[in-house]
């Protein structure tokens, strides 16, 4: 009987491939597309599947993206823009949206959630505030009528500014001007068993008060942390404190049965001079340390048995985003598919080589390595 063994160099290569794919497991990423230089969705699909990224959040229901990820293991949150909230409260328009933007793709693409609107309470548009819940309810009713409610849930993503008081975490409360809306939205979540999504950015807190907030505390670096005087729970990072403040705010209005998930968090690699802390080094530290926490599947101090569910913002730098420089520099990747910095996830898998001029794609490094392994085995 022949004896087979793996040569040391090949073993190292195989271990590297395995490690990179394990790092991507469980990672959620926001796939924004406000740019004119991004690779095609099909290229992104190859790239992310090679990294084993399992969850993506869109801000629309882009059919090209949904088709590109057909028969993959990637789960999607699709979005509906704030401008459509009033329409979605109409039963006919809500059903048309689901039948045109959701149903055609469900057999091949794993769409598990609709996020209705985005950060609606960030603006002062009280009409949008009023339209949000009716839109959520009508879309949920439409899913029920079509027999899709067990497959797709309905929620919305909130800005962290919905929290009026966040310190200490056990004293978290919602802003008083939106408390009536929060009551009704939380009742909906409780009834439909859907999660409460929050966009939490410790970067903003540090940027606004760099002399009062420890950089190590917001970057998950070793630090003294803080202890909640009411619960004696210790926090070694701001993100978890923010999440527990949201749990406290939810509890304060009578609910303990709703899970909080982070629909956005991130750190910009570049910013304006006034945007303190917006450096490549800090972005690398924030995301690499956050990825380590995700891999541990740990909960927050107040919810230690509930692994925190996180979507990082964002997949690419987006050059058409308005606002300060930081807005265009939250990406983990440049549009050509190379990493902005090394967080361990993509150190050996830079993704794709993309040329807008030639429109030619080279295979991802992961698949190049697979080809190399096969060739190595053949010629060994």
Buried-state track 134-172, b at ≥16 Cβ within 10 A, e below 16: bbbbbbbebbeeeebbeebbbbbbbbbebbeebebbbbb
Determine the Cα–Cα distance for residues 247 and 77; give it in Å rounded to an integer.
Answer: 22
81, 143, 354 from 94: Cα distances, Å: 13, 9, 38
Determine the Cα–Cα distance for residues 342 and 320; give it in Å rounded to an integer.
Answer: 24
Q: Which of 83, 216, 259, 264 is catalytic?
A: 264
Nearest-5° angle of CA 40, CA 43, CA 47?
135
Let me know if 83 is a catalytic residue: no
Name the DSSP letter for residue 264: E
Within the chain, strands assigned E span: 28-30, 55-57, 75-80, 110-118, 153-159, 163-165, 173-174, 196-199, 226-227, 234-235, 260-265, 310-312, 353-355, 360-362
Determine the Cα–Cα distance for residues 174 and 181; give it in Å rounded to an integer.
Answer: 10
Let me know if 180 is a catalytic residue: no
- Note whether 264 and 200 are within 8 A (CB): yes
The DSSP-derived string for 1-69 is -------HHHHHHHHHHHHHHHHHTT-EEE-----SSPPPHHHHHHHHHHHT--EEE-SS--HHHHHHT
Six-digit token string for 367: 């698949």
Determine the Cα–Cα distance for residues 100 and 308; give it in Å rounded to an integer.
Answer: 33
Determine the Cα–Cα distance for residues 322 and 320; give it in Å rounded to an integer.
Answer: 6
Q: Which of 119, 216, 259, 327 is catalytic?
A: 119
Residues belonging to the active site = 119, 264
């Amino acid at each position: 009987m022949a004896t087979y063994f793996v040569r040391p160099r090949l073993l190292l290569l195989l271990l590297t491939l395995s490690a990179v794919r394990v790092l991507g497991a469980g990672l959620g990423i926001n796939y924004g597309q406000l740019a004119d230089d991004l690779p095609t969705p099909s290229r992104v699909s190859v790239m992310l599947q090679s990294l084993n990224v399992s969850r993506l959040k869109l801000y629309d229901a882009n059919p090209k993206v949904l088709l590109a990820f057909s028969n993959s293991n990637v789960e999607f949150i699709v979005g509906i823009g704030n401008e459509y909230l009033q329409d979605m409260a109409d039963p006919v328009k809500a059903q048309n949206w689901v039948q045109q933007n959701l149903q055609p793709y469900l057999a091949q693409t794993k769409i598990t959630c609709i996020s209705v609107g985005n950060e609606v309470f960030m603006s002062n548009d009280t009409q949008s505030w009023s339209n949000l819940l009716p839109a959520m309810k009508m879309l949920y009713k439409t899913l029920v009528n079509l027999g899709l409610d067990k497959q797709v849930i309905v929620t919305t993503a909130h800005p962290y500014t919905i929290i009026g008081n966040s310190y200490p975490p056990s004293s978290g409360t919602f802003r008083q001007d939106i408390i009536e809306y929060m009551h009704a939205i939380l009742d909906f979540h409780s009834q439909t068993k859907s999660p409460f999504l929050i966009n939490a950015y410790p970067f903003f807190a540090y940027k606004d008060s760099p002399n009062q907030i420890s950089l190590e505390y917001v970057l998950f670096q070793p630090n003294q942390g803080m202890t909640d005087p009411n619960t004696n729970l210790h926090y070694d990072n701001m993100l978890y404190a923010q999440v527990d403040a949201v749990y406290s705010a939810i509890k304060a209005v009578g609910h303990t049965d709703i899970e909080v998930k982070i629909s956005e968090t991130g750190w910009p690699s570049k910013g304006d001079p006034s945007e303190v802390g917006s450096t490549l080094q800090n972005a690398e530290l924030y995301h690499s340390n956050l990825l380590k926490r995700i891999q541990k599947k740990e909960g927050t101090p107040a919810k230690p048995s509930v692994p925190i569910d996180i979507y990082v913002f964002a997949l690419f730098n987006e050059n058409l985003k308005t606002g300060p420089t930081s807005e265009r520099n939250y990406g983990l990747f440049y549009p050509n598919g190379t990493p902005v910095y090394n967080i361990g996830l993509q150190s050996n898998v830079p993704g794709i080589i993309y040329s807008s001029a030639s429109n030619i794609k080279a295979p991802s490094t992961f698949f190049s390595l697979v080809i190399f392994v096969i060739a190595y085995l053949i010629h060994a």
